[in-house]
Structure 1
């Protein structure tokens, strides 16, 4: 594998990770702010930030070679090739998808468990028990963030269990893009 191919894979996987975080974290969190207090400037700010994120994603996925040339990432190495022995681009992509899925689970499992506890506490004692109030850390039951953390756990699980299929799908997209350019 050449150094250029390696940096291509890394940049595309970073773009995929950024898209997942944007779709499942940034957008839902900011839309929840709009639902509590509607202000046009906030909505405009959210659309602008999402548009910027989508443009960065498109740049990272479609213009990878331009980024490598601009940053000169493949220059200054002694060898042209990186030897990973049994690692090819497909294996590296599989490893990256496993890491992304693992990070999603590690990041959102504590939040999901906390929101589950708070929802359970609310259902068990709707009138409120003073003994249990001390353990909630001043947070109210937040079903929206509970659902978002649950969705991130599901996406992480899907990435961990289907990394081979996703890798084949991403490589298929790369080959069809290479044929059209």
Structure 2
């Protein structure tokens, strides 16, 4: 099999993982709303969906159209980072349990989580997103996609983290 086909399989697996996240997120949103959860940050969510979809589509398009040949050491090290970012993401999901969501929904009266990776970082899931956004395209040598996603994601995360911090501040009060 060609490296493009292997890369396509990897991107499709990440896409399936994203769909699993959406299933968990929908279930968790229902749990939160049943307990009086309040959603904020609706304005940036569509941009986030487009950007994350664009990461997958852009990486595939770049690899198939330009046929880059990344050095083996780069491809394998980036694959290791992709796997590590998925592990961190699912550690975050498991730690937050039904409170984890792709949207910003907080349930009044619940204390902020300070277990798992949240013992050390305020937003460990976004560390996973940043690492994956660089590493996934670079597995296939998609430099342009990695750079564009990283720059756009940095701007989006500035908004997202501000919205989340404001929502979470209401929990601590």
Is TM-score (shorter-chain normalized) higher than 0.5? no
| TM-score using structure 1 length | 0.30
| TM-score using structure 2 length | 0.31
Q: Which has the higher contact order (CA 8 A, sep 6+)?
A: 2
Q: Which has the larger radius of gyration?
A: 1
